[in-house]
Every structure is written in C-alpha cells, then in structure tokens.
Amino acid sequence: MQPTAAQSQTVVVTGLSNREFLELHAQPGRLGLSGGVTFVDQAICRAERHLDERARWGAWSHAFLFQGQRLDGHHWVIESDLQVHHKHIQLGVQENRVAKYYDEKLYTSLAVLDFGLTEAQVACLLREGLELVANRARYSLRELFGTLIALHRPELRGRQNLLARESSMFCSALVQHLYRKAGLDLAPGVDLKNTTPEDIARTALPHVTYLLQREVARSKLTALKTRLRRRVGARIRQMKRRRSHRR
C-alpha cells in the first residue's frame, strides 16, 4: 500500500554502520541515495546548489535501485555508474552487490526511500532495469554536462537534455526512467535526463526516507587549517608571556 501525503516522513537513523543500515532497510524496489568525498561527488553536490533558494550544496551525488537479496545471500542493486577496477572498467547500467556501499570513507551519507510499491510495480522496476543491464546502456558523462547547463538555466530543465544521446543515462536519470515505467514520476516537469539525485531526494511523491546520520569527518584541508590556527595561537600566547616576564 502506497503511503499517503500525510504519511510522508523522514526517519533519522544513528549509531549504525553503513552495512547495518543497508541490511536493515534495503528492500526490492526501494531507492538508495549516497553522498561521498570524491571529486565527482563534490562537483555534483556543488552543481545542485542551483536547486536551493539559499544556494546550499546538494546532499546527494548518486542514486540506485535495490533489487533485493539473492541466493548468494547478498543484497544487489541496479545502477548506472562508472567503476574502475584493475584492468577492467564498468561504464553504464550494471548490477552490483550493495556491499560496495559499506565503505564509510567513500560513502559518508546514505538514505533509503520507500514508496510503498505494489508487487507489480516492483516487478516492473526490476524487469526494466535488467533489460537495460542486458542491453548495456551506457553511462553518459556528456549528458551530465547537459544537466549542468540546465541547472544554470532553469528554463531548460523541462526540455530535452541538450547533450542527450541514445542508449545512455546517468544514475538519477536511470532511476527516474524506471519509476516512470512503473507509473510514478519522481520529478514532474523535469526532463528525464536533467534529473539529479537531489531531485530524487526532494520528490513530492509520498514516501518514507530512512536517513543514516553521522558526524562527517572533516576534510584534510579543514583539519590542517585548524592545526595551523592552534599553532599560531599557541605561539602568540607564548610571545605574550615572554613580554610580560620581561616587564
């Protein structure tokens, strides 16, 4: 049974590891959102500031669909991603074990969105997703640049992505495509290939968001600045004490 608008809510979860959180909330048909610390993650979140009235950065840089648990005992996801392994590159719509998101240094933020889908809707999502995996739909960096252009010019958001290409889509476009196939529109008025992870997070469709909240480690640069301030402060205090002793 799908939640009503009055039932939409955010459930904040604390004190769990990424693994514990996903094992608790990952279910077939639910959506996953992640935020991370890589250059690409930060670039996407920065670009999403155009969606906010106060120009605050977005919180999410990647979106994916949960398949559920298989015979191997692992939860799996369908996603469009760029992964570089030793002598192997995965570029496009693919299946991966959810275990990739257990790395808390890379994936510092996680959310699971539950839209209360029917069995028929879940089956539709998985069927369409696996079809794209089998047909090897590509991940499109080119379309990402088209989305960036649309973020700078809001009047373009509802139009076709300026750099759209066939048989390709990035992560949030994939999620939007699959949900539309199941009769649900996560971002009405926004072109499929202009949809961002932040659009998914802000959807007006009734749902429950399970949000894993933890203190995000400060960047090395911030930590360095803090150490420098402390050292300078300590040096100034030392100089003042020496002056007072001389007097």
More confident residue, 67 or 84: 67
Instruction: Give the domain range for residue 238.
Output: 219-247
Looking at the predicted structure, is the pLDDT value of residue 221 above 50? Answer: no
- Give residue 229's pLDDT band: very low, low, confident or very high (50, 70, 90): low
Asked if 142 and 223 sit in the same domain, the reply is no
Asked if 140 and 227 sit in the same domain, the reply is no
pLDDT digits (tens, 9 = 90+) for 80-126: 997 655 455 667 999 999 999 999 999 999 999 999 999 999 999 99
Asked if 121 and 70 sit in the same domain, the reply is yes
Q: Which of 128, 117, 135 is nearest to 174 (CA)?
A: 128
CA dist., res. 233 & res. 218, Å (int): 21
Res 220: pLDDT: 47
- Give residue 139's pLDDT band: very low, low, confident or very high (50, 70, 90): confident
Best-predicted range by mean pLDDT (98-107, 135-144, 158-167) = 98-107
Tell me how many domains the chain contains. 2
Asked if 29 and 105 sit in the same domain, the reply is yes
Lowest mean pLDDT of 34-48, 180-194, 217-231, name the range. 217-231
Q: 10 Å Cβ neighbour count for 160? A: 13
- List of residues 6+ apart from 181 with CB closer than 8 A: 124, 125, 128
How distant, in Å, are the alpha carbons of 103, 110, 124, 230 from that of 107? 6, 7, 28, 30
